[in-house]
A and B are shown apart, each in its own frame.
Chain A
Amino acid sequence: EVQLLESGGDLVQPGGSLRLSCAASGFTFSSYATSWVRQAPGEGLEWVSGIGGSGATTFYGDSVKGRFTVSTDTFNNTLYLQMNSLRVEDTAVYYCVRMGRGYFDFWGQGALVTVSS
């Protein structure tokens, strides 16, 4: 059974940093691309970042480019999202998602990140 378990969500001040983790199981982690998708309170979905199965290729949405860094640890089957220079508008539930060819087939339950002073 595919499972994705996010952790690391927290309350952080504007300008601060936070790292999210996503522990993957039930599939060959290095064979799939993964992404982070976020959802602000009461709002829609926003694709944030993606990474190839090997970790060699990374992609970012315009709103986080230069502030967020995605990475993987294929030995421990874990996806990370390092978030720096956080803004109030980064407040959201962050979902870890496994990818197929151009789609998101398995989603974690999400980690809440709140940016507030």
Chain B
Amino acid sequence: QSALTQPASVSGSPGQSITISCTGTSSDVGSFNLVSWYQQHPGKAPKLMIYEVSQRPSGVSNRFSGSKSGNTASLTISGLQAEDEAVYYCCSYAGSGTYVFGIGTKVTVL
């Protein structure tokens, strides 16, 4: 299983919106609506931000939203805040009980 493709870095000013793409294949992202997104701050465990493409867990800000088209999923952060600076990983179910993560995107708040 090859890792999902994400941009290495994305940046934005406070208050702006940014979008992180996550490209897979027809065997993973394209086949299942089981894409999730995780936020990881340095030295911390990852935190679930989005599941099932566009669902937000309780307690996650509505500034975070997800979508999918074909083999590419996207995470949008609106109203960017300093606390959003972190690494974001996408993940997709890949069939037969297996999962594949993206390579991670470093979000920088300018």
Using a CB–CB cutoff of 8 Å, the interface residues on chain A facing chain B are: 35, 37, 44-47, 50, 57, 59-62, 95, 100-105, 107-110
Contacts and interface: CB of A to CB of B under 8 A. Distances in A.
Contacts of A45: 38, 40, 46, 89, 91, 101, 104
A106 B62 CA distance: 20
Contacts, number: 64
B98 interface: yes
Contacts of A110: 45
A103 B101 contact: no
Contacts of B47: 107
Given A102-B51, A105-B48, A110-B45, A61 B3 contact: no
B10 interface: no
A5 to B, nearest CB: 12
B14 to A, nearest CB: 27
Contacts of A108: 45
Contacts of A62: 1
B25 to A, nearest CB: 15
Interface string B90-106: 01010011111111100
Contact of B3 (A37, A44, A59, A103): A44
Nearest 6 pairs of A and B residues by beta carbon = A102-B34, A59-B97, A103-B51, A103-B36, A47-B99, A107-B45
